Structure 1
Amino acid sequence: MAVRVLVVDDSSFFRRRVTEMLNADPRIEVIGTAADGLEAIKQTATLKPDVITMDIEMPVMDGITAVRRIMRSLPTPILMFSSLTTDGAKATLDALDAGAADFLPKKFEDISEDRDEARRILCARVRLIGARGVARAATPAAVASKAAATPSPVAPGKRPRKGDYDLVAIGTSTGGPVALQDVLTRLPANFPKPIILIQHMPGSFTPAFAQRLDSLCQIAVKEAADGDILKPGLALLAPGGKQMELESRGGSVRVRIKEAAPGQTYKPSVDLGFSSAAKVFPGKVLSIILTGMGADGREGARELKQGGSTLWSQDADSCVVYGMPAAVADAGLSDYILPLSEIGPSLAQAV
């Protein structure tokens, strides 16, 4: 059965373009369009689409308000189109907080310079969040509530225990901004270990995301800069579009921010970050894989596990996309599989 899509944008040209790109995939059917947020709410109630693509800035009612109202009345997976600017980043993060599942750049050349590749990425993203269905389309609070009622450790009664860790390393992608916010806001101000965060995100988004997390959390959060020293209670977010690795020198551990090599799919890469952590802190890393598309993090997690470190992964029911956590769980690398609502409290207890 085709994924049924409602396309929402105030530009008739953009609506036509998105419709043409989606309808080129036989597994997707555009069943309606809307020119503003209020019309989107009405169309959602009438058509009950599987997925909605949503612009942010529109007349009558903006996309963020529309997302919030749709998620209250008829929860539906929503893909936002965003401009890759500072203001666009802040608005997109607001939309994700309101319940949107994912986002893509509104300029398709920012997705890929190859038009056919951009279309494939758009269609794949729509199919994926559509396949997850309404069960994944909910506000962060609703996801946490559902997850709390669905314990899913590796074995019955098996819960994380306090461990001897020198670093916490977290990797995530689709759905990650909301998941990271949920985890990090549950940590106390005196959290005793450094944290590195690797989130698939454009370079224009990570400064705003780090600032948002810092304003919400008791721990300190900042976008990592080359040469930053790891410190207890400080979470360093890998800059989008670059790679972040660790280096031990002179009795301290610093981050090294590097340009991504040609052909690297993920920028930043969880695999590279985890691999670096495995070398600098052998057997002393608590690594966590949260919601995300693909398998980035699996090979880095393998290196961590081979050195004796510990891996937690988010469970399927609380993920926006159960791709990255599934990859490590299916490879037998997860020591614990936890609902999102349990990860923050368990982390505060285990470290």
Structure 2
Amino acid sequence: MVDKIKVLIVDDSALVRQALQHMLSSADDIEVVGTAQDPYVAVEKMKKVLPDVITLDVEMPRMDGVTFLKKLMQQHPIPVVICSSLVGDGTLTHIKALEAGAVDIILKPQMGTKQFFFDSQVQICDAIRAASKARPKKLFRPATVPVKHNADVMLAKRHSTAMAETTDKVIVIGASTGGTEAIKDVLIKMPLNCPGIVIVQHMPEGFTRSFAQRLNSLCEINVKEACNGDPVLRGQALIAPGNKHTILKRSGARYYVEVKDGPLVSRHRPSVDVLFRSAAKYAGSNALAAILTGMGDDGAEGMLELKESGAWTCAQDEASSVVYGMPKEAYERGGALQQYPLNKIAEELLRKA
């Protein structure tokens, strides 16, 4: 008897997981050994049963699929078939997935997912069979650890005193792991007369636009991916585009953003430290800042500079954080004046505005 091909399905959509599991399980030579809504759950499942092939979505809340694919190929290469609506031919995500080691890529539609899997059963099963015979190569990390730049590489620290109190307030927010839902929780509570908001969420290029569009459909305020020169307006939030630093600037009484290339800062681009330093420099005591759930320490130094410039600062508390890394660093280094549960942060920002 021939051993069945063991498959692990990783997708944040319960509908996709169910449809894909039903379709693959109907093949005599394929066995679905588990499903997972994100890479963190997938890792736990893999500790119990190691699959022969993984089907992997790209856009997931706690870690995107390409990042997980890279980590997987560095540590324990397993054939991966990417199955996502974001990987059309020639897209940057498609290219990055192949570069990261994906064996095959299947473009699933935005709508009609269940029917798509039914119609594409032969194609997808063949992709799984072919992937099971692949021997993916291990990706090696760079031999040297890259220099960890701080915000000095993008702009100098504030030298003058904070801006006059007469200018409008501006809100700056930083987040990473778990931040997509945390940012939604904050923005959905913002009224149309709220101060202008600029946000850095650690996300790959190509994801931030769809993230902004999703938030715009859910929130009362306008939400858009930032473009170079965009004004910071009341009732609007600007999301820093992936792979670009976003800097708050001021011309007279008007705030605007500068979107530009540059080296990684705190190992990120966009970097929360860069946004926060620019807010300290150009808004000073007129700035209100929140740092939300995330891994690492990006934003901790920038938030300290914000506090020292007279800005009001806060961090998400441990109990409500998906990962209590960035908020912890900001609070322990003295940058965050207060810690609040996620459901209180919008309220406190508005109270201080």
Distance 2:332 2:34 in 1: 39
- Choose from 86, 89, 101 the match for 1:88: 86
Counterpart secondary structure, 1:286 = strand
Q: Equivalent residues in 2 for 1:128-139 (5 A)?
A: none
Distance 1:7 1:260 in 2: 40
Distance 1:236 1:326 in 2: 25
- Choose from 264, 267, 280 the match for 1:265: 267
What is the letter of the counterpart of residue 8 of structure 2? V
Distance 1:52 1:79 in 2: 16
Seen in structure 2, the aligned counterparts of structure 1 residues 63 and 259 have a Cα distance that, compared at 3 Å, is closer
Q: CA deviation at 1:248?
A: 1.7
Q: CA deviation at 1:335?
A: 1.4
Distance 1:294 1:349 in 2: 29
Pairing 1:40–2:40 present? no
- Choose from 44, 51, 72 the match for 1:51: 44
Distance 1:221 1:52 in 2: 37
More helix, by proportion: 1
Counterpart secondary structure, 1:229 = coil
Conserved? CA contact 1:186–1:348, under 8 Å: no
Q: CA deviation at 1:243?
A: 0.5
State the structure with more CA Rg: 2
- Choose from 217, 223, 226 the match for 2:225: 223
Distance 2:84 2:272 in 1: 24
Pairing 1:8–2:8 present? yes
TM-score in terms of structure 1 length: 0.59
Conserved? CA contact 1:286–1:310, under 8 Å: yes
Conserved? CA contact 2:216–2:222, under 8 Å: yes
Counterpart secondary structure, 1:318 = coil
Structure 1 unaligned runs (5+)? 1-5, 11-34, 54-61, 68-76, 90-104, 119-163
Counterpart secondary structure, 1:320 = coil
CA root-mean-square deviation: 3.9
Q: CA deviation at 1:116?
A: 2.5
Q: CA deviation at 1:115?
A: 2.1
Q: CA deviation at 1:346?
A: 2.8
Conserved? CA contact 1:82–1:88, under 8 Å: no
Counterpart secondary structure, 1:183 = helix
What is the letter of the counterpart of residue 349 of structure 1? R
Distance 1:262 1:312 in 2: 25
Distance 1:323 1:7 in 2: 33
- Choose from 174, 178, 189 the match for 1:175: 178
Partner of 1:314: 316
Q: CA deviation at 1:348?
A: 3.4
Conserved? CA contact 2:294–2:322, under 8 Å: yes
Conserved? CA contact 1:181–1:213, under 8 Å: yes
What is the letter of the counterpart of residue 329 of structure 2? A
Q: CA deviation at 1:310?
A: 1.2
Question: Can you list the C-alpha shifts for 1:319-351, whole angstroms capped at 9, x where unaligned?
Answer: 111110010111122211111111123333332
Seen in structure 2, the aligned counterparts of structure 1 residues 229 and 79 have a Cα distance that, compared at 3 Å, is closer
Q: CA deviation at 1:264?
A: 6.4
Counterpart secondary structure, 1:174 = coil
Counterpart secondary structure, 2:233 = coil
Question: Can you list the C-alpha shifts for 1:107-147, whole angstroms capped at 9, x where unaligned?
Answer: 56399xx92229xxxxxxxxxxxxxxxxxxxxxxxxxxxxx
What is the letter of the counterpart of residue 187 of structure 1? M
Pairing 1:109–2:93 present? no
Seen in structure 2, the aligned counterparts of structure 1 residues 317 and 350 have a Cα distance that, compared at 3 Å, is same
Seen in structure 2, the aligned counterparts of structure 1 residues 302 and 190 have a Cα distance that, compared at 3 Å, is same
Distance 1:238 1:199 in 2: 7
Q: CA deviation at 1:291?
A: 0.3
Aligned residues: 239
Q: CA deviation at 1:189?
A: 2.5
Distance 1:190 1:81 in 2: 37
Q: CA deviation at 1:86?
A: 9.1
Distance 1:106 1:344 in 2: 36
Seen in structure 2, the aligned counterparts of structure 1 residues 342 and 257 have a Cα distance that, compared at 3 Å, is same
Conserved? CA contact 2:56–2:65, under 8 Å: no
Q: Equivalent residues in 2 for 1:159-198 (5 A)?
A: 166-191=169-194, 193-198=195-200
Counterpart secondary structure, 1:88 = coil
Q: Higher relative contact order at CA 8 Å, sep ≥6: structure 1 or structure 2?
A: 1
Q: CA deviation at 1:303?
A: 0.9
Distance 1:262 1:79 in 2: 19
